[in-house]
Amino acid sequence: MQEMVLQEILNMKSADYPRNLLSIDDFDDCFSDVIKWAISYKMDEEAQRDFKPLDGMAIGSIYEKPSTRTRVSFEVGITRLGGQPLTLSKNDIQLGSSESVADTAAVLSRYLDGITYRCFGHDAVSELAEHATVPVINALSDLHHPCQAAADMMTILEKRKPDQGHIAWVGDGNNVLHDLMLAAAMCGFDIFYATPKGFEPNQEVLDRAHRISAKNGSKILSTNDPFEAVTNAGVIYTDVFVSMGEEHLGGKSDVFQGFQVNDSLVSNARPDYMFLHCLPAHRGDEVTDEVIDSPNSAVFDQAENRMWAQMSILTLLCNEPAWTTYRDLV
């Protein structure tokens, strides 16, 4: 009898711990609370001074790709939460080369209380999470960018409601769009994306987003016409046409002729529309200076919110009792 009880406890631990964030719908049960937590903490100077839920914890961040916003936002956010950030480039460790991913995950789990991983292929972060015994956060892969989606929806929800116009995406059907669709569906926002033919989002991710939107009463629409997507939009979002690691795809940018977000395009949106871009922006390519520097642009609020959203994510995954306590207080 005692052996059966112990096995049930072990099964609970293996099922519930560690909790990882590989795509934003991993938080389907709590995403709205994650965003509310981040917004509240951002405004709460007393909590920022006194509440240190990562005190005594070390969080390691692995980078296969160079980064500005991801690295700085994680390092500063971890430090503000009382933790110790440790940044590792691909040249610092033998991940997947002279040491298997499984062994690296096991070793790092003995030293660290959490791991963030910015990688090329999504299989890499999935394999790391499979073998780690501490929480793993996908800081960007070719398939998903959940931390960006959390910052995106935080920025939108700080200023807009679902009935103030849909979210329009103009550009490539990439990792940013994937998690934006999932996040918008979880928050009840309609999203209308415009991509060139042949550059639509991943079908499996799209199917997941449709299931969530059906549950929450929102819509996901698609077109190959940017003007159709942005008509009456409350939010217009774009990203670079050629992502990091795609530089070898010569001529890809030519496919996006007519997809630039400029004054002509945004004139079809609501006058109070919000412009978003995950940055870095290639000014003059996917967006003009006039749009990204306009009063409608929230790109730097969005960049700042990477830190606040990630602080909520880190606290939830690495110290859930503390995250829950603060959530219940606010």
Please say if 302 is a catalytic residue: no
Q: Which of the residues 166, 277, 306, 327 is marked catalytic? A: 306
End-to-end C-alpha distance for the chain, whole angstroms? 43
Q: Rounded to an integer, what distance in angstroms lies between the CA atom of residue 234 and that of residue 160?
A: 8
Q: Which of the residues 69, 71, 144, 145 is marked catalytic? A: 145
Please say if 208 is a catalytic residue: no
Please say if 118 is a catalytic residue: yes
> 29: which residues sit within 8 A by CB, 6+ positions away?
none
Please say if 278 is a catalytic residue: yes
**Buried (b) or exposed (e) across 161-173, using 16+ Cβ within 10 A?**
ebeebbbbbbbbb
Q: Which of the residues 119, 148, 190, 277 is marked catalytic? A: 148
The secondary structure of 248-299 as a DSSP string is: TSTTGGGGGTT--B-HHHHTTS-TT-EEEE-S---BTTTB-HHHHTSTTB-H
Residue 88: strand, helix, or coil: strand
Widest pairwise Cα distance in the chain: 72
Please say if 270 is a catalytic residue: no
240 within 8 A of 286, measured Cβ to Cβ: yes
Q: Which of the residues 118, 166, 277, 327 is marked catalytic? A: 118
Q: Which of the residues 25, 142, 190, 239 is marked catalytic? A: 239
Please say if 225 is a catalytic residue: no
Residues known to be catalytic:
118, 145, 148, 239, 278, 306
